[in-house]
Structure 1
């Protein structure tokens, strides 16, 4: 095995520290900004809370896990639904509860070990639920790509989306070195430039914006009165099933990259607690829930620079950028079809990663049990199935499919060997 260019606790030189931290910032930037863009949250707050969350995660894991925490795609649809049901405050309270679930699970893992959660969330459940996340957002991506602000078909908008998509795919497949790490960001930049030639970009917001600006944080008891309803709980909390599974997968991959057993030291309970606390902190400021980012793990694999100080640097930069008014204004000028073009690829990749989860674990679909579990999860989740009990109790879409998938996995008998 190759010797790391920078080991976990190795402090880089100032120049290298700055450049490698910027690289991690770029790797997470496109996806982290896309989530608030889709959900109507403030991208500046998302940057700030991603930085705070990353620093919190590093502290809780005792500086032994080089990871960046960005915006979670799994919560896009639930946040939109929660906002429609009870406003931004309701969505933030739901996110806080989801983070609390992470923390509770972390405590249980600390006491009982991690075997029980692996049994509760096997890949035959997790894979299809991840696919539901991506495919459930497919219509959103296509509408953003094709339609104008009035919801009508626009060839100009669709051409911008397709150019953005083509640029992103090109750098994903043919990019080398640093460019292969940031295809989403490069796609947004290229699509933005093309959109400008089509008259879809207005720089007046950037010109008018101040260099320093405090975002409009959504803070309980200051900007809204917090409240909890069964609707919000059932919209947001079950998504933790998916994100906890995603977290576990990331820690396995990260451990392989840096050649350490992270489940033993610092422990899955610490990393999961760090993720949960980061999500709760983000919700108290109006930011989206957090998740460890696979993009940044990819950067580690390519550069072999594992120093946790690089993530401290990128986190601090993200927080600073969130208070730069002109950067926030520039983000807000990105045309919807540009983000739609990027979303077509990103949401498809999410769906494909769910399929890959099952392939990597060699799930046998010749076994009827596996076929039934995956089929029911996919149709309920993508079809938008919903259970209404009274006026306030409602479970729908991804949350419902995840719950039923877990139940089916528990009650359906496994085939005996030789059958």
Structure 2
């Protein structure tokens, strides 16, 4: 695992950052497109939220922040409820931003409350047994969305996927780090030859424009305040906040296993959750959707084995610049949907693989069937809800998504099934050292990585 790329040339670091930006761009703009929010604002606060998170967590966790998919169904419900009460689409979007603001406040409250709870109890409440299947479920859910994109042009999507796979198999050293670029280049060349790739959108785009749009600010709901609608927003986002928090903890556990560093002990959940809350709060105030740590970042780290957070800060700066330049946004948006779908397909395959490896690591340490029961029951709950119940389970007036049902199933089983093979404190400490670094040395004294041949 490469932890420090500062010794590499600046051009190479910029190229690696641009590769990551292209991998997360589609997900960042998809949520505001569905909700009707401002795309430049989503790009701006994707970068701002990432920089804020890195600042409050000492720049040690390789997280990139973007628009959250886990709250999409709930926010769509809020928008439809507001429109059904006679509100305009713009005002409905303001109530959507109010929901994101509530989630940010809940994050901050939970982050501060966790400061009063011993860290070991928090980790035991949400262990790898539950984190691994949740990450796998998120990867599977997002995998379906990427296949919808590939369907627009099967040939371009498949060529992109195959090119990335071949680059990973046959290339070595620095060239292998750019497998995403190689796959995207193959898809673009094919699209160009077939005439499905055009740059016409660049002609009418300006070079510079402000990303801010006062129409979507959360506090605009005060101009047309509706107490009942505010109550609907709060009731809707309360379970969404629980799921989003669970996804954050799962990402922390999985990135720790992937990067071989125990970020739960180095940084701690109170700081990381509070930082996420501040980022979401700021984004909602200015009219952007809730931001969250991107799970596909873990997939990309697994793919190119680079976990240097400085690269993600460079991506954040690039995204901020992109939000102020409509012509660059139009350039990236002109990439065929199937090519982007092929890239995200690879990312989510890696996310599922990371979740499976985390599950196997936990099973190897505990050596009992309890974790397998929880993992497969969680996956089964997701599959049944997604395939047989049309992607959701209605409980009264609330519709639980497949991911929510899977998480609740796993959490209930985790709390209900006694863990007779639980690790002793000494074994748990030894396990943490194994995750922190392969040699058992302290996390803060990693030796600088040598450049790859």
TM-score by length of 1: 0.78
Residue 65 of structure 1: how far off its partner (Å): 2.0
Label 1:28 to 1:353 Cα distance change in 2 as closer, same or farther (>3 A): same
Deviation readout 1:311-360 (Å, 9 max, x if unpaired): 65553333112211111111221222112222322222222221111112
**Contact 1:145–1:338 (CA under 8 A) maintained in structure 2:** yes
Q: CA–CA distance in 2 between the matches of 1:388 and 1:169?
A: 40
**Contact 2:133–2:356 (CA under 8 A) maintained in structure 1:** yes
2:283 aligned residue: 282
Residue correspondence of structure 1 range 1-400 to structure 2 within 5 A: 18-19=10-11, 22-23=14-15, 25-41=17-33, 44-61=40-57, 63-65=58-60, 67-71=62-66, 75-76=68-69, 78-80=71-73, 82-83=75-76, 86=79, 88-89=93-94, 92-147=97-152, 157-215=153-211, 217=213, 218-222=216-220, 227=230, 228-235=233-240, 237-251=242-256, 256=261, 263=264, 267-284=268-285, 285-287=287-289, 289-291=291-293, 293-294=297-298, 313-362=314-363, 367-382=368-383, 383-384=385-386, 386-391=392-397, 393-400=398-405
**Contact 2:139–2:349 (CA under 8 A) maintained in structure 1:** yes
User: Which of 407, 416, 419 is equivalent to 1:414?
Assistant: 419
Deviation readout 1:369-405 (Å, 9 max, x if unpaired): 33332232112223335443333x2322101211221
Label 1:251 to 1:351 Cα distance change in 2 as closer, same or farther (>3 A): closer
Residue 99 of structure 1: how far off its partner (Å): 4.0
Label 1:400 to 1:99 Cα distance change in 2 as closer, same or farther (>3 A): farther
**Contact 2:5–2:13 (CA under 8 A) maintained in structure 1:** no
**Contact 1:365–1:371 (CA under 8 A) maintained in structure 2:** no
Deviation readout 1:12-41 (Å, 9 max, x if unpaired): 9xx96x546524532430232121344354
Moved more, 185-194 or 397-406: 185-194
Deviation readout 1:272-315 (Å, 9 max, x if unpaired): 32233223333444245231743786799759xx685x665553
Label 1:68 to 1:372 Cα distance change in 2 as closer, same or farther (>3 A): closer
Label 1:312 to 1:350 Cα distance change in 2 as closer, same or farther (>3 A): closer
**Contact 1:125–1:406 (CA under 8 A) maintained in structure 2:** yes
Deviation readout 1:68-123 (Å, 9 max, x if unpaired): 52326xx4254155325526556544444444444333323322232122111122
**Contact 1:32–1:70 (CA under 8 A) maintained in structure 2:** no
Residue 172 of structure 1: how far off its partner (Å): 3.4
Label 1:144 to 1:294 Cα distance change in 2 as closer, same or farther (>3 A): closer
Which SS does the other structure have where 1:275 is aligned? Answer: helix
Q: CA–CA distance in 2 between the matches of 1:140 and 1:302?
A: 26
1:151 aligned residue: none
Residue 139 of structure 1: how far off its partner (Å): 3.0
Greater RCO (Cα-Cα under 8 Å, separation 6 or more): 1
Q: CA–CA distance in 2 between the matches of 1:364 and 1:5?
A: 32
Which SS does the other structure have where 1:286 is aligned? Answer: coil
**Contact 1:24–1:311 (CA under 8 A) maintained in structure 2:** no
Q: CA–CA distance in 2 between the matches of 1:175 and 1:99?
A: 43
Label 1:314 to 1:235 Cα distance change in 2 as closer, same or farther (>3 A): closer
User: 5+ residue gaps in structure 1?
Assistant: 7-11, 148-156
**Contact 1:103–1:272 (CA under 8 A) maintained in structure 2:** yes
Q: CA–CA distance in 1 between the matches of 2:263 and 2:148?
A: 41
How many residues align? The count is 389
Cα RMSD, aligned residues only: 3.7
**Contact 1:215–1:323 (CA under 8 A) maintained in structure 2:** yes
